[in-house]
Structure 1
């Protein structure tokens, strides 16, 4: 079932990115968005209520942006730039707040590891996708 009511047509100059072998960014973003869903449930179940609500909201916004951009890239549909930009900003904010609020010791080490291994590289991919043109430039 598709939620896209007015899909672009090939006659309008729209070309699927998937046809050009660019499916990996869509897979990465979609996988990351799906991976955030169980992580959000863990945070909601283990953190104090006030913190759980804030972190769950941030992670759900990240997941929505990642899934939106990833789905568009996988389908070869235009419109990946805005959700990719939103995901990049949310991931950067997540990493910054994690690092700023982590207690010294194991909690800080975990925050640094998450920032370096997941949040910042994914933010860089999203930022690059946000800057990439929707369609290849005509020559």
Structure 2
């Protein structure tokens, strides 16, 4: 497990999040993210590219996690969770475009929409995170 890749990626993401959003990146180094970091280390990619791919995956993970926490009984928390999830999704787009990862973005956008729709039927994101790892593997095999 390459903890440096995880820590460097989290630090890079924190630099990209606007201070006024008050979004904290917590639980960004869980098993699904570690699995993708391990997958990335199996490929000979530039370190900055590994960080970009991992960051995009972390943002999807964070957005899904926040959307999953929605509670209909608490309107202010509901609104905040929706806005946080939407912001993180937007940050995914900005980060990929800024780093010129057009092919990665075109691969992740349809996946992200499938995830959003799947969460309506199955609120457990674990299976979806495993699918994200497979998407990244397929993407890397095509671009390597």
Q: How high is the TM-score relative to the length of structure 1?
A: 0.37
Q: TM-score, normalised by structure 2?
A: 0.36
